[in-house]
Structure 1
Amino acid sequence: MPLIILLLSVLVIAADQVLKLLVIQYLKPDGVKTIFDGLLSFVYVENRGAAFSILQNQRWLFIGITLVICILIIYALFRYGNHEFFSYAASALIVGGGIGNLIDRILKGFVVDYIHVSFFPAIFNFGDCCVTVGTVFLMIHVLFFADDSHGAEKVLRTK
């Protein structure tokens, strides 16, 4: 199963990179494309920082942190013995989204961001979404399934 999860990570990386190529080709010249007025727009941004553009121009710090986290997750993918849906999904999403953004940082020196929703101040990308959802899945796994091989039964019994 770990090899299948790594293949899913590769699909996430590919989707992230294809979306960014499309954004660079079609959105960068215009800068902004409104999809749903007042709710969703695509905005081309070259983010040289982390979330909310904090820690600007710390490229090598982010490259190092991303590499360490991805290596730890891949190691755990093969060594951890109590995987459930959430831990597998978390692994694929975090590694795929993290490496997608890592490729940008290494090759371009910045991450291409393009999704803007009106109720959220930051502009983000598909890889960011994957890392965020993967982190939520990892938290669900740790909180509800990590200590008990019958985690789903445990959650259902507590309701």
Structure 2
Amino acid sequence: MNLAGAWGRALLVAVVAVAADQVVKALVLASLRTGESINVFYGIDITLVRNDGVAFGALGGGGPLILVLVLASVTLLLAYFARHARDRLLWLPVGAILGGAVGNLIDRLRIGKVIDFIDPIAWPAFNLADVFIVVGVAGFVLLILSEGAEASAAG
């Protein structure tokens, strides 16, 4: 794949991720008060949570440190992608991670906290942006590992 196509696809995935995340958060904000829950099915509620930490509530109260960590992580991701953008499907997890990060960044800049709402039993609440980030990181790692295995087999 050419470089422009890879960047374009990553950007498209990121835009779709941000849009989905922000639309669902707007619906939750319009429907619930902070702490209010709706049971979806056994073990999963929709609960409006305002999270000042990162994924799954980690680093709560981290403030500027969180912003620095997110920006550094996104910078490293984009630098890696700039060097390897032509690699097979790398655009897909990069777009998902970028979209998730931007979705949560919008919340931080707009209200100072991230809106979480997916609330399973025995696990901290999270949101759609977190899902994009986690799935994107898993895909990124799998692609990197598969490329390493292919290089070892070929070399």
TM range, normalised to the smaller chain? 0.7 to 0.9
The correspondence for 1:84, drawn from 71, 81, 88, is 88
Q: Which amino acid aligns with 2:137?
A: T
Q: Which amino acid aligns with 2:24?
A: L
Q: 1:29 to 1:131 in 2, by over 3 A?
A: closer
SS for the counterpart of 2:46 is: strand
1:145 aligns with: 147
- State whether residues 47 and 112 of structure 1, in contact with CA within 8 Å, keep that contact through their aligned partners in structure 2: yes
2:134 aligns with: 132
Identity of aligned residues (%): 28
Q: 1:138 to 1:16 in 2, by over 3 A?
A: same
1:157 aligns with: none
Relative to the length of structure 1, the TM-score reads 0.83
1:15 aligns with: 20
CA distance in 2, matches of 1:107, 1:146: 41
Shift of 1:81: 5.3
CA deviations 1:3-43 (Å, max 9, x no partner) are 2211210111111111111111112278111111x222100
Q: CA RMSD in A?
A: 2.1
CA distance in 2, matches of 1:4, 1:90: 11
Relative to the length of structure 2, the TM-score reads 0.85
Q: Which amino acid aligns with 1:97?
A: G
Map 1:7-156; keep pairs closer than 5 Å. 7-28=12-33, 31-36=36-41, 38-80=42-84, 83-85=87-89, 87-118=90-121, 120-146=122-148, 148=150
Shift of 1:146: 4.4
Structure 2: where are the runs of 5+ without partners?
Answer: 1-5
Q: 1:27 to 1:2 in 2, by over 3 A?
A: same
Structure 1: where are the runs of 5+ without partners?
Answer: 155-159
Shift of 1:78: 2.7
Deviates more, 1:27-36 or 1:44-53: 27-36
Q: Which amino acid aligns with 1:96?
A: G
CA deviations 1:93-112 (Å, max 9, x no partner) are 11000111111112111000
